[in-house]
Amino acid sequence: MNHPTCLRYVHVQMSACIVFSRQNILGLLVAWATLLFLGTPNLATAQTNRDQLSGKLVITGASTLAPLISEIGKRFERLQANVRVDVQTGGSSRGVADVRQGLADIGMVSRAMKDDEKDLPAFPVARDGVGIILHKENPVQALSDEQVIAIYTGKTTNWKVVGGKDATITVVNKAEGRSTLEVFLHYFKLMSMDVKAQVVIGDNEQGVKTVAGNRNAIGYVSIGTAEYDESQGVPIRLLPTGGVAASTETVRNGTFPISRPLHLITRTPPVGLTKAFIDYAQSKAVHDIITQQYFVPLAD
Amino acid sequence: MAESMKKRLNMCEGLAFVLVWGTAALVTATFCWLLGDLVWHGLSHVSWTFLTAPPENAGRRGGIGPILVSTALILGVCLAVALPIGIGTAVLLAEFTSDHSLFGRVTRRSLDVLAGVPSIVFGLFGNAFFCKTLGLGFSILSGGLTLACMVLPILIRSTEEGFRAVPTSYRLSAAALGLSRTTTLIHLVLPAAVPGLLVGLVLGVGRAIAETAALIFTSGYVDRMPESLLDSGRALSIHIFDLSMNVSGGDANAYASALVLVVLLLVINSTVSRLTAYGLQRKIMTV
């Protein structure tokens, strides 16, 4: 075989192979389409089942609420063998949008409903409150909002200025991404970068331990955690905010200012399985789960 | 004169020595620090029960059994889809398309752009296309297909480089011996291109198994043991993210899960490279 013939031979083989590989791709597409086709009927059954008291509930929305609702969902599944509760996250606004579009049966919203969302039926399941804590032996009894802002922005650095001992203030802040940080910043109208902190902590327990171990520290944690630890003899004290004592009681009745309601929402007034789940999430049977997730149950 | 030049040369060499070794030490130290931190905080929580039990109390207690299963299934779907399409496209690009053809240039440019697209964009695409348009919902299938889309550009490009690294003389010799193009491809070029494929595979698996943003809106958040590919299943990376950022008191289990993830990645990487090195030797010998 001389050289040009060899090239021509290669060329012929090449075009044959292109056809061959096209068939391959076609085959793959067919296989894929079959896969999708097989997949769809299963979903359809799940949707028709939803009207009966068995089936699948899809819940999307606030990541703050997701662990709580997941746990409630697991307990609900144990009670109702034919029910599946799938919880997805993505934020409160996503919960609202998914419910409006019918992509989710129930939405999770970790704030008060906005004016343009008032048409959606909303069901509060719990409240989340954030309280400022000091060491038990710190003589300061109360701080105004302005004083708290001055301390957290580094303008006030000594307890003497706000009526305490002559000692440097240790500011304890929450790590980025914690919902308590957001609630705290939102109430005091601060930006995350304005805060000048000496200690950055992760969870509530860590915040309590840091303040309990430092007489000059100031921190803020979920009120449920703080109240529980205070009752267990941990040397911390919750400060009132805006003249309202920080307690699960004032969080529950909505008078405590640094708090927010945690809602479940639906597009239309709930019926069937959706209603059963929302009723269950609002019932006393889940109060232990709500407390376990450091939230405040609504009523005893 | 010569003396001072020699001195300067020595100094240059010394500087280069310090720079090269310093950089290498820095990279290694960073990895060791990271791994050490994970082992220090996480090792005491890792046990057989942790690896098999379902999570409890939002993941603070219990284990990661269902999450490991979901992760494996998502990765399986991803590879089952990405490998055939990836190798096929790479063969087409490297063997059957000329470097300067419009088709080749457009495809390569698109792949390079896709490889640089942030994973959250793939996540939103997957959510819109697989979950909503195709009606797969939040499912392991949606997650795996989204990951396949994300991994494909890397896989195709590095496999293509693997094919290009095979000397043309192989193909010409095979043609001179009267072997068909397909035989040449399957028995000669493909085995020889395996190292490139391997690099793509390791990079792709690494990107896929550590993915969070692309999965949170596709395979979802449900930490129940999956019963089918149409169930939503939480991937390990999402579990770690949730425990460390969303669940107070979840740090200990987050460390343990992260340790499992890193060890898993190391095991997969070393197994793949060892297997392929073995297979490569055998394959080329028998031809």
Residues A133 and A246 both lie in one domain: yes
Number of domains in chain A: 2
Residues A122 and A133 both lie in one domain: no
In a domain? residue A63: yes
Question: pLDDT grade, residue A217 (50/70/90)?
Answer: very high
Please, are residues A54 and A83 in contact by the beta-carbon 8 Å criterion?
yes
CA distance B219 to B208: 13
> What is the CB-side half-sphere exposure of residue B270 using CA atoms within 13 A?
5
**Would you state the pLDDT for residue A94?**
86
In a domain? residue A85: yes
Residues A115 and A183 both lie in one domain: no
In a domain? residue A43: no
Nearest CB neighbour to A204, from listed B182, B217, B248: B248
CATH class of B48-286: mainly alpha
* CATH number for the domain that contains residue A197: 3.40.190.10
**Would you state the pLDDT for residue A115?**
87
Residues pairing with A263 in the sheet: A109, A124
pLDDT surpassing 80 at residue A233? yes
**Would you state the pLDDT for residue B145?**
96
The whole-chain average pLDDT of chain A stands at: 80
In a domain? residue A183: yes
pLDDT surpassing 50 at residue A2? no
In a domain? residue A8: no
Give the residue ranges of chain B where pLDDT is below 50.
Answer: 287
- Which chain B positions have a beta carbon within 8 Å of A209's beta carbon? none
**Would you state the pLDDT for residue A143?**
92
In a domain? residue A10: no
In a domain? residue A14: no
- Report the pLDDT averaged over residues A11-35: 43
* Count of C-beta atoms within a 10 Å radius of residue A19: 9
Choose the weakest-confidence range: A170-174, A272-276, A294-298, B243-247.
B243-247
**Would you state the pLDDT for residue A177?**
60
Domain ranges of chain B: 2-45, 48-286
**Would you state the pLDDT for residue B1?**
58
Residues A157 and A171 both lie in one domain: yes
pLDDT surpassing 90 at residue A243? no
Quote the domain boundaries for residue A157: 128-252
**Would you state the pLDDT for residue B234?**
94
A198 is written with which tokens?
């000496």
Nearest CB neighbour to B222, from listed A71, A87, A205: A87
Number of helices and strands in chain B (H, E): 13, 2
**Would you state the pLDDT for residue B282?**
61
pLDDT surpassing 70 at residue A9? no
- Report the pLDDT averaged over residues A64-83: 91
Could you report the per-residue pLDDT of A81-123, keeping only the tens digit for each? 899 999 998 888 888 999 998 889 999 998 888 888 889 999 9
**Would you state the pLDDT for residue A229?**
81
Residues A246 and A269 both lie in one domain: no
Could you report the per-residue pLDDT of B162-213, keeping only the tens digit for each? 898 888 898 999 999 999 988 999 888 888 888 888 888 888 888 899 888 8
In a domain? residue A44: no
Please give the torsion angle defined by the CA atoms of residues A144, A148, A153 and A155, in that order, rounded to the nearest 10 degrees.
Answer: 60
Report residue A262 CA to chain centroid gap.
Answer: 9
**Would you state the pLDDT for residue A279?**
94
Closest CA–CA distance from residue A31 to any residue of chain B (Å): 11
CA distance A169 to A158: 5
**Would you state the pLDDT for residue B279?**
66
Interface test with B, best of A20, A86, A179, A208 (most B CBs within 10 A): A86
Helix (H, G, I), strand (E, B) or coil at B263: helix
Closest CA–CA distance from residue A71 to any residue of chain B (Å): 6
Interface of B with A in 257-276 (CB under 8 A): none
**Positive or negative torsion for Cα A260, A262, A267, A269:** negative
CA distance A2 to A8: 10
- Report the pLDDT averaged over residues A151-179: 88
Residues 6+ apart with CB under 8 A from A165: A138, A139, A159
- Report the pLDDT averaged over residues A31-52: 42
pLDDT surpassing 60 at residue A30? no
Interface test with A, best of B172, B248, B251 (most A CBs within 10 A): B248
